[in-house]
A and B are shown apart, each in its own frame.
Chain A
Amino acid sequence: MCGIVGYTGHKPAQEIVIDSLKKLEYRGYDSSGIATKEDKLVICKKEGPIANMESELSESKSTLAIAHTRWATHGVPSDANAHPHNDQDNSVAVVHNGTIDNYLEIREKLEGEGHQFRSESDSEILPFLISKYYAGDLVEAIHKTLKDIQGIFTIAVIHENHPDEIVAVRNETPLVIGVGSSENFLASDIYAVLKYTQQIIYPEDNQIVRITPDSIEVFDSDLKLFDYEVETVEKYTEVAEKGGYEHFMLKEIFEQPKALQDSLTQLLVDSSLENLGLNWKIGSISIVACGTSYHAGLVGKYVIEQLTAIPVSVGYSSEFRYAAPVQGVGGLLSSRPLVVLISQSGETADTLAAARAAKQQGCHTVAICNVPGSRITREVDGVIITKSGQEVGVAATKTFMTQMQALYVLGTHLAFNSGSLDHPQYKLWESEIRKIPSKITQVLNNSEAIKALVPHFVNAKSVFFVGRNINYPLALEGALKLKEISYIHAEGYPAGELKHGPLALLSEETPVVAIAMQDHTYSKLLSNIEEISARKAPVITLCQKGDQQVPKISDQYFELPEIDSVLSPFPVAVFLQLLSYYIAHELGTEIDKPRNLAKSVTVE
């Protein structure tokens, strides 16, 4: 995880990198630091959020800077472990994102040579190695350093002898270069630089990049100059600022109708699925993702199986990548499996590794991703881009919605291709999917009623979420949202599974949220609610408008607008998001930056 930025140009660098660094706070926020070139290199670093470090800064005239925001892997969050790290003479400053696997070995060797280390961080060996190999050219010094280290990393380095130069290199973790006029930028992702430029270079693994205000050189692993391409990315018109909302999460919840609308325009009207080349006989589908995206994948399973009758399995990326290939690989190319990878950032380390594993096994890979140009989009066979805009809150909300929507549209596309949906049915689905933004707007407009449910939860030690069929994944998602932002223990269960264990945990102090939609499992779910009530646990039920049964058997209920039950995950998700938000708000937790979490998980 961790985020890095760098600037070299003609303007005061300190302001620019701090501003960019704040855009990366989602990648980690337990400590941060900055290195500038005054008369010599000056490093300022501090434990805690970026604001802590900012308050310690003194005025700077430097037009060169690198900065870092950290998510701890090696060593606790502390001033000493924060980046940038420097060598003993303070001639080199380094920021690093990733992990160095063989650092202990190198560290012992360097200590044997008389070097003194001041932190527990694996990154601290880097400035020592670089200054050891430095003989006038920074690129060469880094090239030699790369031969010693193993691991995944993005590194950016400045040296006191090169007052306008930053040298950077990546291996598996992200790095982008922003091209300006008489100024250049580097960062972990495009959001950090989009305010300044839309001209972006994406370096490949192990390419060393040297940027100065007026030049960008990219060297390959033999130090030959590489002919790079500059891409123009679309500017996100919305700025990641709270605009009146108390938290990013709430802002993003309320942005969902627009996010869905924008993504749908891309999917339906621009027919971006036509370009995926999915018109062969697909034998099986695997959906692979982490966290909230995994839950979107589970919803996708129900929809795609219902529409196409192709078997769909859903796996966690971290498991899938190490699993034995059992999917009929090596069989007929004409019925090869399709693997759908879902990653908001497109940088999730496990999902990336899963994509590579799937490709190696001969599967056709398609990624659903929210960041155009991100790593995963460069490695898979086809890409579906969701248009949620940047999501800053660590708890995923709008990207979950657009991921689900993408899977629904993918399902109808596959079903139409394979002939299981005829044209009028396909159009009907399209028309139903178009109605989703308006349905969820109705839930958003009713947010006060959701807020009113909060007192039933604030004193709970544990909360259960239950659902059946397509809303079972929503029970999981509801529990995840509540856990991550309110720190209340929560579990999601298929409603029918409670009696196989969890009923033992129910009591008056464990509220249960039940999702009761009018589908073929409705009557079964009602009897599950009765089972729960019989154990005296308070039941809060989500039902469709006009439901006659639910009010009779639940302690509290909330009515969703009328919607086809197959589309109900959308309004249900909005309800669950708002519920978690208001509970967390009541408890006063750090909603946008839950403890121990970071938005984009680029380590295994």
Chain B
Amino acid sequence: MVPIGNRPILEYLVRGVVASGIKDIHMVVGYGKNSVMSYFGNGSEFGAEISYYFQEERTGTLEAMRIGMENIDNEFILIPGDNYVSGESFSRLRNCEGPVLLSGKADRWSKWGEIELLNGKPRITFDSPEAYGRIHFTGIAKLSLSLAQKLVEHSGKHIGESLQAILENNDFDIIESHYWHNIVYPWDLISGNRISLSDNLLYRCGKIEKNVIIKGEVSIGKGTIIRSGTYLSGPISIGESCDIGPNSVIGSSVSLGDNVRIGSFAEISDSIVMQNCEIGSYSSLKGTVIGDNTSIGSHSIAIPITRDILYLDQTFSVSDRGAMIGDNCTIGSRAVLQGGSILMNNATIGEGEFYNADFQGDNI
């Protein structure tokens, strides 16, 4: 339920599916099911009819599909929940006859495998090391019940693997996704945020004081107060009950969750600040993700530099990412978080400290 553009990634998928004319959604939930169910309810708020299926243990995507297939008697579209795909892609899938795989241009390896066309027949491979610009499987597919049962029989933890086995004997269509962003690493959230904000739901509530300048698409939730002298340049999405300014600069591509407080003279761009955070005055944040309930003292800095990040034994080169900060962190005044550094949940950074560390331990 991590938000990009102030809404969980799942919500974009649900809205996309509904926009393509599909209402009946089976959601397979496991870990964290309560927050998903609380958010979506029976789906009526999103124009969908959502029923829930429970995967109590993490037994893989194939098992999840088997659980969710219950009560389906013909065709269905399978969607892993960590992909951002624009709604347009679902309409394309829906308008296609027969089984279809949704492909996308990769910017790095996707766990679903690469799609190759061999003599006009699609093949899923996992052997090419080069990924950039190649066509990958997004994990999203339109399947018939009988095909899905075949997939389940070819046991494996993973849909890509099982597909590889049955592709030879079954005809699949391949269509290209309109937009695909696979969110795996923390810094993927920043680019996800940029894209999803272009899909911003516009609303303007709350109280906007005199001399606030608003440019571009800016959404402001109810109960929020934007204080005088603040400069907002969209796309920006601001949640409910926030308190911003006076004299702060926000934007562009910024998502602020509910109940976020930002002091005066702060500057924030290209960032996600999740709910209940507090950011002190004169702070400067760019390309930064901040988890729930984190507080940042005044004069703190997190701005990008070009560097390599070590993440679970892999190295990634990033140039436009600031810090990735977990939930419930406390960061003292005048702290400097170097671009690309990752801070775990519940961490504390003292006043005036310089922090630069790679990923260690749990996911954030």
Give me the interface of A with B, judged by CB distance under 8 Å: 237-239, 241-245, 250-251, 254-255, 258, 261, 264-266, 268-270, 431, 434-435, 437-438, 441-442, 444, 447
Task: Decide yes or no: A269 and B241 within 8 Å by CB, A237-B45, A243-B37 being known contacts.
Answer: yes
The 10 closest A-B pairs by CB, nearest first: A244-B52, A265-B223, A243-B41, A244-B37, A269-B223, A438-B293, A438-B276, A243-B42, A265-B241, A254-B38
Q: With A and B bound together, what is the CA distance between A261 and B41 in angstroms?
A: 18
Q: How many whole Å from B255's CB to the nearest CB in chain A?
A: 17
By a CB distance below 8 angstroms, the chain B residues around A238 are 41, 45
Determine the residue in chain A with the shortest Cβ distance to B292. Answer: A438
Task: Decide yes or no: A261 and B258 within 8 Å by CB, A438-B275, A438-B292 being known contacts.
Answer: yes
**B34, CB-defined interface residue at 8 Å:** yes
By a CB distance below 8 angstroms, the chain A residues around B51 are 244
Task: Decide yes or no: A245 and B241 within 8 Å by CB, A237-B45, A435-B276 being known contacts.
Answer: no
- What is the number of residues of chain B that contact chain A, defined by CB distance less than 8 Å? 34
Determine the residue in chain A with the shortest Cβ distance to B27. Answer: A244
Q: List 15 A-B contacts (CB under 8 A).
A: A239-B42, A241-B42, A242-B42, A243-B38, A243-B42, A244-B33, A244-B36, A244-B41, A254-B35, A261-B241, A265-B241, A269-B207, A434-B241, A435-B276, A437-B259
By a CB distance below 8 angstroms, the chain B residues around A264 are 241
CB of B52 within 8 A of CB of A265, answer no
CB of B38 within 8 A of CB of A255, answer yes
CB of B240 within 8 A of CB of A243, answer no
Apart from A243-B43, A266-B223, A269-B225: 7 A-B pairs, beta carbons within 8 A: A244-B27, A244-B37, A251-B38, A261-B258, A269-B207, A269-B224, A434-B276
Most buried by A among B51, B207, B223: B223
CB of B241 within 8 A of CB of A435, answer no
By a CB distance below 8 angstroms, the chain B residues around A444 are 34
- The residues in B between 327 and 348 inclusive whose CB is less than 8 angstroms from any CB of A are 328
Q: With A and B bound together, what is the CA distance between A431 and B261 in angstroms?
A: 10
Q: With A and B bound together, what is the CA distance between A584 and B85 in angstroms?
A: 42
Task: Decide yes or no: A245 and B42 within 8 Å by CB, A261-B258, A261-B259 being known contacts.
Answer: no
Q: With A and B bound together, what is the CA distance between A251 and B42 in angstroms?
A: 12
Which of the residues A243, A251, A270 comes within 8 Å of B223, measured between beta carbons?
Answer: A270
Task: Decide yes or no: A435 and B34 within 8 Å by CB, A238-B41, A243-B41 being known contacts.
Answer: no
Q: With A and B bound together, what is the CA distance between A269 and B221 in angstroms?
A: 12
CB of B241 within 8 A of CB of A447, answer no
**B310, CB-defined interface residue at 8 Å:** no
By a CB distance below 8 angstroms, the chain B residues around A437 are 259, 276
Determine the residue in chain B with the shortest Cβ distance to A241. Answer: B42
- Count of A-B contacts judged by CB separation below 8 Å: 74
**B222, CB-defined interface residue at 8 Å:** yes
Which of the residues A239, A441, A447 comes within 8 Å of B41, measured between beta carbons?
Answer: A239
By a CB distance below 8 angstroms, the chain B residues around A268 are 241
Q: With A and B bound together, what is the CA distance between A434 and B243 in angstroms?
A: 12
Determine the residue in chain A with the shortest Cβ distance to B206. Answer: A269
**B349, CB-defined interface residue at 8 Å:** no
By a CB distance below 8 angstroms, the chain A residues around B207 are 269
By a CB distance below 8 angstroms, the chain B residues around A251 are 37-38
By a CB distance below 8 angstroms, the chain A residues around B35 are 254
Which of the residues A244, A265, A438 comes within 8 Å of B240, measured between beta carbons?
Answer: A265
By a CB distance below 8 angstroms, the chain A residues around B45 are 237-238
Q: How many whole Å from B9's CB to the nearest CB in chain A?
A: 18
Which of the residues B50, B222, B225, B261 comes within 8 Å of A243, measured between beta carbons?
Answer: B50
**B169, CB-defined interface residue at 8 Å:** no
CB of A261 within 8 A of CB of B240, answer yes
**B131, CB-defined interface residue at 8 Å:** no
CB of B34 within 8 A of CB of A447, answer yes
- The residues in B between 289 and 346 inclusive whose CB is less than 8 angstroms from any CB of A are 292-293, 328
Q: How many whole Å from A264's CB to the nearest CB in chain B?
A: 7
**B172, CB-defined interface residue at 8 Å:** no
**B59, CB-defined interface residue at 8 Å:** no
Q: How many whole Å from A560's CB to the nearest CB in chain B?
A: 13
Q: How many whole Å from B165's CB to the nearest CB in chain A?
A: 33
Q: With A and B bound together, what is the CA distance between A447 and B37 in angstroms?
A: 15
As a 0/1 sequence over residues 42 to 66 of chain B, the CB contacts with chain A under 8 angstroms (1 = contact) are 1111000011100000000000000
**B212, CB-defined interface residue at 8 Å:** no
Task: Decide yes or no: A435 and B223 within 8 Å by CB, A238-B41, A254-B34, A258-B38 being known contacts.
Answer: no
Most buried by A among B51, B261, B276: B276
- The residues in B between 82 and 134 inclusive whose CB is less than 8 angstroms from any CB of A are none
Determine the residue in chain A with the shortest Cβ distance to B207. Answer: A269
Q: How many whole Å from B244's CB to the nearest CB in chain A?
A: 13
Q: How many whole Å from A181's CB to the nearest CB in chain B?
A: 22
Q: With A and B bound together, what is the CA distance between A251 and B223 in angstroms?
A: 25
Q: How many whole Å from A470's CB to the nearest CB in chain B?
A: 23
Q: How many whole Å from B75's CB to the nearest CB in chain A?
A: 24
Determine the residue in chain B with the shortest Cβ distance to A269. Answer: B223
**B357, CB-defined interface residue at 8 Å:** no
By a CB distance below 8 angstroms, the chain B residues around A254 are 34-35, 37-38
Q: With A and B bound together, what is the CA distance between A435 and B277 in angstroms?
A: 9
Q: With A and B bound together, what is the CA distance between A243 and B45 in angstroms?
A: 11
Q: How many whole Å from A437's CB to the nearest CB in chain B?
A: 7
By a CB distance below 8 angstroms, the chain B residues around A270 are 223
CB of A245 within 8 A of CB of B259, answer no
**B180, CB-defined interface residue at 8 Å:** no
By a CB distance below 8 angstroms, the chain B residues around A441 are 292
Q: How many whole Å from A434's CB to the nearest CB in chain B?
A: 6
As a 0/1 sequence over residues 211 to 250 of chain B, the CB contacts with chain A under 8 angstroms (1 = contact) are 0000000000011110000000000000011000000000
